Structure 1
Amino acid sequence: MGCLPTKQVGRSTHSLDPREAVALAAETSFTVNEVEALYDLFRKLSNSIIKDGLIHKEEFHLALFRNKKKNLFADRVFDLFDQKGQGVIEFGDFVRSLSVFHPDAPEEQKAGFAFKLYDLRQTGFIERHELKEMLLALLDESDLNITSDAVEMIVDRTFDQADTKGDERIDQEEWNEFVKDNPYVLRNMTLPYLKDITMVFPSFVIHSEVSEADMIA
């Protein structure tokens, strides 16, 4: 009997190809040394539950959010990290996506990532119901409890400021102007410890730091 061919997934080696490290450093905000440190982190995360060298959604939730609870916010972040839409995160996509959260990453990149986060249907626009859905997910992730009237007020106020064309949807251009005037919106798009990743292994947990006052202000 012949042997069935097997498809190899993930990485078969325990070291990062120096050429890949240089290439990723060139296209992100990380240095070569930081990319190498991220590879060690990636290996740990990608083998925490399923040992295949790829980060699955369960591993992602557990590592970044310290829970396995299904949450729209966590799912959307995973989907954006999973740039190839394969249901898993490869190392290159992990570094490129994480680079957006680097303190030195351009604000335009952060705004673009945040826009995609809210553009749930991937139409190129943020609709009112999408903003409300993501807002409720952020509140749930942050363990913040505010009234439904307050949620509606936040949505209304956001559209009053951002929807300058008055078509009941927010496009990328309108969003960019909105976040310039309201920088707190991008607060969670910067993880300061990424600058010191070669010195201190990060706790690597994304927690929303948006306070109730920030959201209503």
Structure 2
Amino acid sequence: MGNTSSMLTQYDIEEVQSHCNNTFSQQEIVSLYQRFCQLDRSNGGFISGEEFLNVPEFAVNPLSLRLLRMLDGLNFKDFVAFLSAFSPRASLQQKIEFIFKVYDSDGNGKVTFNDMLDVLRDLTGNFISEQQREQVLMRVLEEAGYTKDSLIVLSDFVKILGNSDLKMEVEVLVD
């Protein structure tokens, strides 16, 4: 599986399925492998950030720089695990964990008010003012019992997203 020019064996496919919690069928994994090989232009068995930026849909995504941090240097197995959050078969918990990683820009397991504000800024651009973004974020945090100074860990993030309106938004964002 390290050399992208080789074919996947049944064992490889099953190993990847297990690694991504069976969110993809065997045929989907074969298709993803073909796409991975197309993206891996250097045939090194890993996809660089530069190679990801060649995907037009990725390049125009407002969160592409954040996602690039998560994607740069992925091998095939980790590439499929990354994509599993977008599968309709992924659980809400898997989707929330993925979104948490997007917010946790330094990978320390904690999200700050500024981390959340940065994501909102990326998503909204010039459509709303900085003051409006801060107000929205403060309201969401306060409704969940947190403040601007709170450090949010994954379990807190799950609690915040436990709000049914936000839960629907999570499913829409990742589907």
Same structural fold, with TM-score higher than 0.5 when normalized by the shorter chain: yes
Show the 5 A alignment for 1:1-217: 11=3, 13-28=5-20, 29-47=23-41, 50-63=42-55, 65-67=57-59, 73-81=63-71, 87-140=72-125, 145-162=127-144, 164=145, 166=147, 168-181=150-163, 182-183=166-167, 184-190=169-175
Q: Amino acid of the residue matched to residue 117 of structure 1?
A: V
SS in 2 for 1:76: helix
Structure 1 length-normalised TM: 0.68
- Give the unaligned 5+ runs of structure 2: none
Change in Cα spacing, 1:54 to 1:124, as seen in structure 2 (3 Å) is: closer
Question: Does structure 1 retain, via aligned residues, the 8 Å contact 2:47–2:74?
Answer: yes
Change in Cα spacing, 1:62 to 1:135, as seen in structure 2 (3 Å) is: farther
Q: Cα RMSD between the aligned structures? A: 2.4
Question: Does structure 2 retain, via aligned residues, the 8 Å contact 1:58–1:68?
Answer: no
Larger Cα Rg: Structure 1 or Structure 2? Answer: 1
Q: Hey, which of these two has a bigger chunk of helix by percent? A: 2
What is the CA-CA distance between 1:102 and the residue it aligns to? 0.6
Structure 2 length-normalised TM: 0.82
SS in 1 for 2:54: helix
Q: Distance in 1 between matches of 2:146 and 2:132?
A: 24
What is the CA-CA distance between 1:128 and the residue it aligns to? 0.7
Q: Distance in 1 between matches of 2:4 and 2:80?
A: 19
How many equivalent pairs are there?
Answer: 168
Runs of 4 or more, structure 1, over 6 Å off, are none
- Give the unaligned 5+ runs of structure 1: 1-9, 82-86, 191-217
Change in Cα spacing, 1:44 to 1:16, as seen in structure 2 (3 Å) is: same
